[in-house]
Amino acid sequence: MKKFVAIIIAFTIACNIFAQQKNPTSVKEIQQKQKEAQAALDKLAPEQKKMMEQMGFSTKVPAMPAGITDAQVAMAVGGDAVPKRNGAMIDAIPKITLSPATVPAYIKTLGDYIEKSLANDARIFAGQVYTAFKKTNTMQRLSVMLPSVTGLPASRK
């Protein structure tokens, strides 16, 4: 009996896997899917259509906007998740070699650059947060939990 149930479950799973349909990759395939969906909606009983409309579902399949190309459909459905390698942009990244001696200067330069790009109200708010952290000795408390992040020695108070 257990084998029979296992075979039925395996068969059901296999049927579901093979029944999976692929996404349409062209305008023609999308239009075909729209026709199939509209035909399925047209087969519904009037009570079912009324119930769908009461729940806020339309009984009409929306039309696809004009001017959509097959390339746009392919990109939207399963397009490139990872962009193509752009050597020019990669080469434009400055080559910075950090050593223990150059890290403080680099952090200072980076901090100045970020501070210039911040909006004035964000800069003021960040200053207030920093002052609040200093007053409540939060950095010392954080160093107990996260010594590698704060850079402070771990203390046990």
- DSSP for 98-145? --TTTHHHHHHHHHHHHHHHS-HHHHHHHHHHHHHHHHTTHHHHHHHH
Provide the pLDDT for residue 157: 47
Mean pLDDT of the region 4-14: 70
pTM of the predicted protein model: 0.38
Q: Is the pLDDT of residue 148 over 60?
A: no
Mean pLDDT of the region 61-89: 80
Q: What share of the chain is helix, strand, coil (3-state, %, to 5)?
A: 65, 0, 35
Provide the pLDDT for residue 108: 92
Highest mean pLDDT, choosing among 15-24, 37-46, 75-84? 37-46
Mean pLDDT of the region 84-89: 88
